[in-house]
Amino acid sequence: MFIITGANGQLGHAIVKKILGFVSADQVAAICRDPQKAADLSALGVEVRRGDFDKPESLSRAFEGASQVLIVSSNARAYGGDPLVQHQNAIDAARAAGAARIVYTSHMAASAHSAFPPMHDHAATEKMLQDCGVVWTALRHGFYASSAIAVIRDALETGVIETAADGPVSWVAHDDLAEAAAIILSQAPDKSGPTSPLAPTQSFDFKGLARLASDFLGKPIHHKIIADDDMRAKLAGRGIPAHVANIILGRDIAARNGEFATVDPTLKQILGRSPISMRDLIAEQI
C-alpha cells in the first residue's frame, strides 16, 4: 500500500492523483486531518484515512498496511508549531507499520546553516531518516513556484516586487514535483539518500521575475530592495507575525547567498519532458 500524507494540501493531493497513473487506486491510501475535504479522492477509488502528525495514535491506523510512506513536509513552523516533532511522529509510525521505504519531500537547500529557517528542519529530518533503519529517499525540491506567483500577484496592484535581498531561485511547479514523486515512488530504490536537485534548468531572481511579469502582462512591474527593518514594518502592517517575517527575510537572504540557485537536468530526465516554465505558469495562474 502506498501511503501519501498531506492529501488535502496542494502537493500531497497532486501526488495522490499522479500516482494513480502507475498503480491501481486500491493500492493507495490518502492521509489527511479532514477526510471529508478529500471526497474527490474517494471518488477515484482511493481510501482516505484520517491522520494527524500531532496525534501519533492516529497514524497507527492511517499507515496500516504500508509498503511505502510519502511524508509531505510540514509547514507548522509558519504557524508556531514544531515540524520536527511532527516528522518524527510520522517516521516512527511508518517504521512501526512495517513500511519498506519512506519518501520525504525535502529541499535542495536543506542545511543546518541556511539563512532560511525551513531548511534547518529539512536537514534535521533527513538526519532522522538516516537514523530510522528504513530505506529512505529525500526528494530535494527546488523552490515552489507558487511563492513566485504569489509575489507577482501582490505586485499587480503596487507595480513593485519588494524584497530584502535578491539572488537566483530555481522555481519549480507543484505539478512537476508531484509527477516526479509518483514516478520515484513507482520505482524500487537502489539505495537510501537524497535525490539530485529536482529543479528546473533555468533560475530567476526577483528582478528577473519582475521583468518576466512585465513583459508577459504588458504593464510595468519593478523590483526594489528595501532595508530589513522597513521590510519587517511593511509585513507587520499587513498583519504578518514576526516569526513569519523572519522566514520571509531569511528566504531573501538565502537567495542572495545563492542557496536556491542550483539548476539541474534530473527533473527533466525523470519527467521525460521539460519542467513547466515560469512564463507558462504566469500565463496559467496570473
Looking at residue 42, its amino acid is: S
- The whole-number pLDDT of residue 271 equals 98
Domain count, the chain: 1
The CATH number given to whatever domain includes residue 103 is 3.40.50.720
Q: Has residue 226 been placed in a domain?
A: no
Burial class (CB in 10 A: 0-12, 13-18, 19+), 138: buried
- The whole-number pLDDT of residue 251 equals 98
Place of cell 526577483: 206
Res 286 pLDDT > 90: no
Q: Has residue 221 been placed in a domain?
A: no
In sequence order, the 6+-apart residues with CB closer than 8 A to the CB of 115 are 250, 253, 254, 257, 259
pLDDT digits (tens, 9 = 90+) for 69-85: 999 999 998 888 999 99
Q: C-alpha distances in angstroms, 113 versus 8, 58, 118, 143, 205?
A: 31, 34, 11, 17, 21
Q: Has residue 282 been placed in a domain?
A: no
Looking at residue 257, its amino acid is: N
Q: What does the pLDDT average to over 20-28?
A: 98
- The whole-number pLDDT of residue 278 equals 95
pLDDT digits (tens, 9 = 90+) for 175-191: 999 999 999 999 988 78
| Percent above pLDDT 90 for the chain | 95
Instruction: List the grid coordinates of 89.
Output: 511522529
Q: Has residue 280 been placed in a domain?
A: no
- The whole-number pLDDT of residue 78 equals 87
Q: Distance between terminal CA atoms of the chain?
A: 38
- The whole-number pLDDT of residue 242 equals 93
Mean pLDDT of the chain: 97
240-273 burial: b if 16+ Cβ within 10 Å, else e: eeeeebebbbbbbbbbbbebbbbebeebbebbee
Q: Has residue 65 been placed in a domain?
A: yes
Taking CA 98 as the corner, what is the angle to CA 122 and CA 105, rounded to the nearest 5 degrees?
20
Range(s) of the domain holding residue 179? 2-141+173-199+263-271
Res 275 pLDDT > 90: yes
Q: Has residue 98 been placed in a domain?
A: yes
- The whole-number pLDDT of residue 195 equals 98
Res 17 pLDDT > 80: yes
Q: Has residue 23 been placed in a domain?
A: yes
Asked if residues 206 and 151 have their Cβ atoms less than 8 Å apart, the reply is yes
Q: Has residue 45 been placed in a domain?
A: yes
pLDDT digits (tens, 9 = 90+) for 144-162: 999 999 999 999 989 999 9
DSSP, residue by residue, the chain: -EEES-TTSHHHHHHHHHHTTTS-GGGEEEEES-GGGGHHHHHTTPEEEE-BTTBHHHHHHHTTT-SEEEEPPP-GGGGT--HHHHHHHHHHHHHHTT-SEEEEEEETT--TT-SSHHHHHHHHHHHHHHHSSSEEEEEEE-EEHHHHHHHHHHHHHHSEEEESS---B-EE-HHHHHHHHHHHHTS--SS-EEPSPB--S--B-HHHHHHHHHHHHTS--EEEE--HHHHHHHHHHTT--HHHHHHHHHHHHHHHTTTT----SHHHHHHTSPPPPHHHHHHHH-
